[in-house]
Structure 1
Amino acid sequence: MYIYSPSGAVRDKAAFKRGVARLKALGHDVEVDPDALASSQRFAGDDATRLAAIGRAATSGADVALISRGGYGITRLLPALPYKALAKAAERGTRFVGLSDFTALQCALLARTGATTWAGPALCADFGVEGAPDDIMEACFDDLLCGQGEGAGWRLPKECEGHAPVQVRKAVLWGGNLAVLAGLAGTPYLPDVRGGVLFLEDVNEHPYRIERMLTQLLLAGVLGRQKAILMGQFTGFAATPHDKGFGMRSVVEWLRARVKASVLTHLPFGHVPTKVLLPVGAKVSLVSEGRDALVVWEHAH
């Protein structure tokens, strides 16, 4: 396993050390990039340093290349990413895993090469937590390493009990952090996925900002091309008296009224301890009935 820092600087060194120690305790051979703890302003080193780290991750030969943390920084690197090396590594079996700012690399790589990466945990926030890491996250991560992961199921909210069943076959699963995706709209680094299953999450964004970013993707034609939209976890915001009841449920109702795609909520993915791993760029099938939802994919060896 290769640990590297393509985005924000690691400020919580204790969490970094705990994460590495826990992965080793689980029996993994862990190699840490020489610049994993570099710092330049808010970034894990300057642009050249972080590009070199991504390049080393691509040539490491590791079964998993795991980011230390998200933050911000990959979008500004997109024109210079080593796409061929990343795609070749993915083809040879390296699973690139991350979330948040890592969405930029995942989308750009999918757009440029069609390679599959994995939306999943980060070292510090997930394996480096004080106390025990989330058991569901760990189980999903173990399934990935063992080649056994083939899907993710979850419970929909009560109001979905009377909804019509959803069935989508062999659609490309893609998405990630909403703010990062919205920032890629109109660029060659946003995949042109048609008939896909789009999953979204975000943190520290008020519902009106989430709706504004969804509006951008709607007006850009992105949302109208999807067969299903999976709303993950949107956390880290606080309601204000000015909202007068406007919240995430309002946003979901607004979205459902404007797209033909099925919109399912409560996907266990985002800036939360309990998260599943999702293959970005892989073809999946999605089914829901009552309050049960399931997305499945084929084994990738």
Structure 2
Amino acid sequence: MLLPKKLKHGDTIGVIAPASPPNLKNLRRSIHFLNQLGLHVKIAPHVNCKYGYLAGTDEQRLEDLHTMFADQFTNGIICAGGGYGTSRIASMIDYKLIKRNPKIFWGYSDITFLHQAIRQKTGLVTFHGPMLSSDVGKENFDPFSQAMFNQLFEPMFLTYSKDISPLRTISPGEACGEIVGGNLSLLVNSIGSAYEIDTRNKLLLIEDVGEEPYRIDSFLSQLKLAGKLEDAAGIIVGDFSEAEPRKPDESLTLEQVFNFYFSRLDKPVLSGFKIGHCLPHFAVPLGAKATLSSLTKTLHIEPGVT
């Protein structure tokens, strides 16, 4: 486990768009928030580029990522948005460069693939949290989500409890381990690749957006068949927004799907975490050690910076 250095006032944040084109209006609005945190902002050269559904060509997006990690005057990197495209550049990334220049890396959704690849190749703790054009730059970006950025300025223990949102125990127990995971569909896409999700003795975080129950069922079936559910020490079920079936009378509910895959596991599984495509959005350091308990209905997470 390699912890990035904490930020301090006056530091510079690099902004990249390694997946789809960001909403530029929201991105511009988000810069004001970062400035209020006492940070300078450096926009990568190709953030404004478009190549179909991608924010520039693979080479351009890769160049921006490498440039920001190599730049000694950039202290952290926040992704502008998600969408699609990070798996296309994963095999071309210079992971030795990242390991030589460990720094804060923040995003979620399609960025899940980069979180996995970077962690498995370097051991660097990265952050699953709100992105600039997708969340921060929107008018409804809430104070709770804003406060999650404080963990970048000082090593702090995080606790998620039922005081934040109602939590449901699907399978009882208590377990410790590093948090891994993120967007469920991206985790499934990683199977069979060099960046396949490793859940052994880990706390697996899953979340997704816009997927009907049958699709989530198929994703979880793949994880089960690949041994990923059995290997995990515990499972953190985050937010699954826009998951309503188009034909409710012909569908299982999301709760039924989760019960089928998780209720018979001999490990803690809790659902209801506001982690994912939602507001408020509880940001977590991936790779950091944590404890998940159904006894207290809490998730305790160790600091993600040093």
Partner deviation per Cα, 1:41-93 (whole Å, 9 max, x = no partner): 11110000000011012123433200000000011111101211222322xxx
Structure 1 counterpart of 2:15: 3
24-33 or 64-73: bigger deviation = 24-33
**Equivalent residues of 2:20, 2:83 under 8 A apart:** yes
Matched, 1:241 2:247: yes
Q: Could you tell me how far 1:252 is from its partner in structure 2?
A: 1.3
- Equivalent residue, structure 2, for 1:150: 157
Over 3 Å counting, the alpha-carbon distance change for 1:226 and 1:189 in structure 2 is same
Distance 1:149 1:243, change over 3 A: farther
- Counterpart of 2:28 in 1: which secondary structure? helix
SS in 2 for 1:101: helix
Equivalent residue pairs, number? 291
Structure-2 residue corresponding to 1:268: 274
TM-fit CA distance, 1:283? 2.1
Q: How does 1:91-110 map to 2 (within 5 A)?
A: 94-110=103-119
* Number of the residue aligned with 1:18: 29
Amino acid at match of 1:180: L
Contact 1:101–1:177, Cα closer than 8 Å, also in 2: yes
Q: 2: CA distance between counterparts of 1:138 and 1:235?
A: 20
Q: CA deviation at 1:288?
A: 3.4
Match in the other structure for 2:231: 225
**1:116-265 paired onto structure 2 within 5 Å:** 116-131=125-140, 133-142=141-150, 144-155=151-162, 157=166, 160=169, 164=172, 166-169=173-176, 171-244=177-250, 246-265=252-271
Matched-pair contact (CA < 8 Å) for 2:171–2:269: no
Change (3 A) 1:102 1:85: same
CA–CA separation in structure 1 for the residues paired with 2:228 and 2:269? 14
Flag the 1:243–1:189 CA change in 2: closer, same or farther, 3 A.
farther
Shift of 1:27: 2.1
Partner of 1:54: 65
Correspondence 1:22-101 to 2 at 5 A: 22-61=33-72, 62-90=74-102, 94-101=103-110
Q: Which runs of 5+ in 2 are unaligned?
A: 1-12
In the alignment, residue 254 of structure 2 is paired with which amino acid?
Answer: M
Deviations 1:149-180 (A, max 9, x none): 322313274764x974x3223x1210000000
AA paired with 1:268? K
Equivalent residues of 2:27, 2:133 under 8 A apart: yes
CA distance in 2, matches of 1:300, 1:288: 27
TM-score (norm 1): 0.90
The 3-state SS of whatever aligns with 2:294 is strand
SS at match of 1:30: strand
Moved more, 185-194 or 235-244: 235-244
Q: 4+ runs of 1 displaced by more than 3 Å?
A: 156-160, 240-245
Cα distance in 2 for residues equivalent to 1:276 and 1:63? 22
**DSSP 3-state at the match of 1:112:** helix
User: Aligned partners of 2:38 and 2:259: how far apart in 1?
Assistant: 46
CA separation in 1, counterparts of 2:285 and 2:197? 15
Find out whether 1:278 has 2:274 as its counterpart.
no
CA distance in 2, matches of 1:59, 1:173: 27
* Structure 2 Cα separation of the partners of residues 195 and 159 of structure 1: 22
Q: Give the secondary structure class of the aligned counterpart of 2:111.
A: helix
Q: Is 1:295 matched up with 2:300?
A: yes
What is the DSSP-based 3-state SS (H/G/I as helix, E as strand, rest coil) of the residue aligned with 1:233?
strand
- The farther-off stretch of 101-110 and 253-262 is 253-262
Contact 1:233 1:266 in 2 (8 A): yes
* Of 80-89 and 238-247, the range deviating more from structure 2: 238-247
Give the percent of matched residue pairs that are identical in Structure 1 and Structure 2. Answer: 28
What is the CA–CA distance in structure 2 between the aligned matches of 1:59 and 1:275, rounded to whole Å?
Answer: 29
Match of 2:7 in 1: none
Q: Deviations over 1:171-201 (max 9, x none)?
A: 1210000000000011120243311100010
Please give the alpha-carbon distance, in whole angstroms, between the structure 1 residues aligned to 2:30 and 2:175.
37
RMSD of aligned Cα (Å):
2.0
TM-score for both structures, normalised by structure 2: 0.89
The structural deviation recorded for 1:225 is 0.2
CA separation in 2, counterparts of 1:115 and 1:159? 31
Secondary structure of 2:40's aligned partner = coil
One-letter amino acid matched to 2:128: A
Q: What is the distance in 2 between the residues matched to 1:150 and 1:158?
A: 20
